[in-house]
Amino acid sequence: MNYEEWIGQPVRKKQARGNAPKPFKSGLKMNIVKGIIDHPILHIPAFTFQDDDSYVECRRCQLMNRNELVRMASRQLDEALIDLETKYKLRHGEATFVLALTAKKLESRECLDQFLNPELGEPFEAAP
């Protein structure tokens, strides 16, 4: 397998023995491949990443497809909006803001849905 093609692509760790994949050292569940090194202990190819200084065996990672990226972005958007809504309610307690925020959330969802296409499962291609 040519792991050089994975540089600049989003990856996640594979599941191990039915357990949920562990996050990267940064705490993220997704990371962007920065480069490939020789694993200092195992002497096999390992990825380095943009968001932290860790390295992971290449065989323990897999490319993320568009569907996974959109789901992850959608979850992060939901969490950020809920957090913002909660903070605003605590400070102001105004229902009008909650309604406006809900409308924005629905707009954002539509944008994410439009990003999806019938060819799900293809790897994400990084912008040049």
User: Phi, psi (5° rounding) for residue 53?
Assistant: -100, 25
Overall number of domains in the chain: 2
Predicted local confidence at residue 127, as pLDDT: 41
SS3 51: coil
Q: What is the pLDDT of residues 80-90, one digit of tens each?
A: 777 776 766 66
Residue 128 domain-assigned (yes or no): no
| Residues 7 and 53 both lie in one domain | yes
The domain in which residue 76 lies consists of: 66-115
φ/ψ bin of 64: left (φ > 0), alpha (ψ from -120 to 50), beta (otherwise): beta
| Residues 48 and 70 both lie in one domain | no
Mean pLDDT of the chain: 76
Residue 88 domain-assigned (yes or no): yes
Selected residue with higher pLDDT from 56 and 26: 56
63 is written with which tokens?
A: 């490319």
Ranked by mean pLDDT, the top range of 39-48, 74-83, 86-95 is 39-48
| Residues 58 and 12 both lie in one domain | yes
